[in-house]
Amino acid sequence: MISQDFPPVHGGIPTYAWELARRFVQDHELTVVAPRRPDAEVFDRDAPFPVVRLGGPPDALGVSSLGPLLKRGADVAFCTTWHTAPAALMARRLGRVDRVVVAAHGRELLLAPWPAGAQRAYDRVRRETLQGADRCLPVSHYTAGLLRDLGVSPSRITVVSNGTDPDRFRPVPASTSAEGPVVLTVSRLVRRKGIDTVLAAWGAVRKRFPEATYVVVGDGSDRERLETLARPHGDSVRFVGSVDEAGLARWYHACDLFVMPARSEPPDVEGFGLVFLEAGACSKPVIGARAGGVVDAIEHEQTGLLVPPDDATAVADAILRILGDADLAQRLGRAGRAHAEASSWDAVARTMGALL
């Protein structure tokens, strides 16, 4: 596994890489190649597989990982993003790797970080890298469409959605607290996550549920703006910052409803939405927007509700509908738990292992 985003770094792709790696090693001989991090030594010592850490910027892993690949060889080089695949393709050409498989999440397929001339070269490398892989594994049908747009043959694309850990994220007995309902968002605090849409809807929610609290877990560049937008709502909106794994589970348990109406702002898109599975695994109903790969993460009217992006009225209506209907909330939560159990990381790793 070659991953430029690997723990102890936090985020969706590091979670994806770690959850798969610790399951792959149960049935396969696994080595992970990842960037050197100042805080990685303790993590790597406890990992159930060797981790080769390489210096230099993470984006250079697509070149620097050639050394370990040539030295060790591999039946499969599994690249968690396309950026890490060029070295694997070269190692395949030199006979040290049999197959190259590339995961696809969303944003990295749309990213345009360079001026026009350099961007054309970047786009060409991206297309040729993805087209050269033996198989691409997008996390959603939306992401699969992005791969087809980049010229990847549909015959080499297999959608394997993200999973979750139903043992870590699980229901707990309902609280007997007399406090009002808790609505939760867990995300990086960036504009496209749609937290501002929830804040625009919050006044309507509070008219019907004056004791309701909106809790936002996470941090990011948009926090100051969001806190300014939240100020008219007083103590009913709480920004609690980043939390550890145990704290994250506690917030899922404490909420009555999870909401994240993310919008697409290419290249920033929601390739899937792992948080919807985590909340569902805790038997919580969820609300998301019909944008990106979220439609793969939420089964509308089954595990949660889908609303149009940037529609505060629709968000308010969806929140009020679930908070006002205990039977609906419980039905959606039960279905979310069943979906999480069926799409656990164990199941994802088995499917992916067969494909690899």
pLDDT band at 154 (very low <50, low <70, confident <90, very high): very high
Q: What is the pLDDT of residue 11?
A: 83
Residues 203-244 have pLDDT tens digits of 999 999 999 999 999 999 999 999 999 999 999 999 999 998
pLDDT greater than 90 at residue 72: yes
pLDDT at 268: 86
CA–CA dist 220, 223 (Å, integer): 6
Per-residue pLDDT band at 267 (split at 50, 70, 90): confident
C-alpha–C-alpha distance, residues 17 and 58, integer Å: 15
Cα–Cα distances (Å) from 240 to 75, 228, 243, 244, in that order, read 45, 15, 8, 12
Domain 12-160 has CATH 3.40.50.2000: yes
Nearest to 98 by CA among 113, 88, 84, 108: 88
Residue ranges of the domains in the chain? 12-160, 182-342
| Closest listed residue to residue 287, CA positions, set 335, 67, 299 | 299
CA atoms in the 13 A half-sphere facing the CB of 7 = 15
Q: Thinking of the domain 182-342, which architecture would CATH place it in?
A: 3-Layer(aba) Sandwich (3.40)
Terminus-to-terminus CA distance in the chain, angstroms?
11
What are residue 138's DSSP bridge partners?
Answer: 104
pLDDT value at position 279? 97
d(CA 232, CA 290): 28
CB 194 within 8 A of CB 260: yes
Distance in angstroms (rounded) separating the CA atoms of residues 30 and 76 = 10
Vertex 219: Cα angle to 216 and 225 (nearest 5): 80
The pLDDT value given to residue 331: 98
Which among 7, 16, 127 is positioned nearest to 79, based on CA atoms? Answer: 16
- The yes-or-no answer to whether 12-160 and 182-342 have a common fold is yes
* Residues above pLDDT 70, as percent of the chain: 99
State the average pLDDT for the chain: 95
Confidence of residue 175 (pLDDT cuts 50, 70, 90): low
pLDDT at position 1: 98
In terms of Cα–Cα distance, which of 165, 194, 187 is closest to 243? 187
Specify whether the CB–CB gap between 258 and 234 falls below 8 A.
no
Query: Residue 294 pLDDT more than 60?
Result: yes
Bridge partners for 307 per DSSP: 289
Residue 265 has pLDDT above 60, yes or no: yes
Q: What is the DSSP string of 126-160?
A: HHHHHHHSSEEEESSHHHHHHHHHTT--GGGB---
Task: From residue 262, give the alpha-carbon distance in Å to each of 41, 185, 268, 326, 328.
Answer: 35, 11, 10, 25, 23
- In DSSP terms, 137 is beta-bridged to 103
Q: In the predicted model, is pLDDT for residue 174 greater than 80?
A: no
